Amino acid sequence: MKQTLFTLLLLSTIALVSCRKKGAEQNIKQYDDAQIQSYISANGITGMVKDTIGQDTTGIYYKILTSPKNVSTIIADTSKISFVFTLKSFDGKYSSTDTIENHYDGYVGHITADALPLGLRLAILNNLKYRGYSMRILIPSHLAYGLYGYGSGSTENTSSRISGNQCLDYYVHVINNINGPVADNQATYDDQTIQQYMKHENFTGYTKTATGLYYKIISAGTGTEFVNQNSTLEATYTGMILNNVQFDSGNNGADSVSVEVPDLRPGQQEALTHAVKGTLMSMILPSALGYGESAVSGIPVNSCLRYEYQVVDVTP
C-alpha cells in the first residue's frame, strides 16, 4: 500500500512538473510574436496590422503604404507580377536595400522558388492583394528562413548571411505591369526610377522622348552623317544599371570597337540617331527599351539602363 501510494505521488509530481514546464515554454509562433512586438515597440513603428486570414493567424504584421485607385484585379498564385523590395533582419546584421538588384518578376506561386520566404508570398496574397500597392511587412522567422537562416559565411557578414530564427522587416512595392492608362504601370514606375536616379546623381540637361528615353549630348560631334538604324559604328561605350554597377563595355571605354546598330537595344538605337561622328552622349533607357522581362546576365528583369557612347566613326 505504501509503495503504491508512493508511486502515485511520484507520478503526480512528474505530471505536475511536466505541465508547468510545458506551460512555461514558448512555441515558435509565440516566440516570433514576442520578437515582433518588441521590434515594433523599440523602433516606434505604428499602424501595423496582424494578419488574421484563415482560422489561425500567420503571425505576419503589415501596413499598406500606398493604394492607388482604379485597381480591382486581385493577385492570385497564378498571377504574374513584378515587384521590388528591401529587407533587413531584426538583429540588424543583415540589410539589403538596393531595389535595383532586389527585383522579382514571375508568378506569385513561384516566389519561394526564387529563394524568397514563404511569408512574403502569403503577405502579397493575403494583405497586399493588388498590383500597384506598397506595404511594409514584418515576417516571423517560421515563415522566413527558420532555424538555419539563409546565406553563407559568418553571421557577422551583413551582406551574405541571415541568422537562424530571425524575423524580417520587408518593404515591398508591386508594380502594376498591366499595359494601358494606369497610374502605376511599369512605364510610369521606370520614369519615376529614372528621375530619382538623375536627381541623386545631379544629372541635368537630358531630353526625354515620346518613348520614355532620356538622352544628352555631352559633346557635339564634327561629322555631318547622322547615325541611322542600319549604321555600323566605331565606338567606345559603357553600360550600367541604375545602381551604377557596370554590366557591359566596349573595351572599357578605351579602344573603339565595331558596333552594328541593328543589333542594339531599341533605346540605344533611338538615342544614337541623334549622334554623328565624334559625338559623346549619355542615354538612360526605360526597361521596355532595354531588355524588359528577359533574363540577362548582370541585368535584373525590368531594369532601366544607362549607357555612355563615344562615336568615333559612322558608316551609313
Assign residue 270 a region (left: φ > 0; alpha: ψ between -120 and 50; beta: otherwise): alpha
What share of the chain has pLDDT > 90, as a percent?
Answer: 65
- Please report the pLDDT score of residue 180 as a whole number: 44
Q: What is the pLDDT of residues 26-68, one digit of tens each?
A: 789 999 999 999 999 999 999 999 998 866 789 999 999 988 8
Residue 251 pLDDT grade (very low, low, confident, very high; cuts 50, 70, 90)? low
CATH fold group of domain 28-175? Chitinase A; domain 3 (3.10.50)
187 φ, ψ (degrees, to nearest 5): -65, -40
Q: Find the range with the poorest average confidence among 61-75, 83-97, 274-288.
A: 61-75
Query: Please, which residues have CB within 8 angstroms of residue 312's CB and are 6 or more apart in sequence?
Result: 233, 234, 235, 236, 256, 277, 278
Do 28-175 and 186-315 fold alike per CATH? yes
- Please report the pLDDT score of residue 5 as a whole number: 36
- Please report the pLDDT score of residue 89 as a whole number: 95
Looking at the structure, give the CATH architecture of the domain made up of residues 186-315.
Answer: Roll (3.10)
Domain range list for the chain: 28-175, 186-315
> How far apart (Å, rounded) are the C-alpha atoms in residues 270 and 290?
11
Q: What is the pLDDT of residues 146-196, one digit of tens each?
A: 999 998 766 555 567 899 999 999 999 998 765 444 555 888 889 999 999
When the pLDDT of each residue in the chain is averaged and rounded to a whole number, the result is: 86
- Please report the pLDDT score of residue 73 as a whole number: 83
268 φ, ψ (degrees, to nearest 5): -65, -45
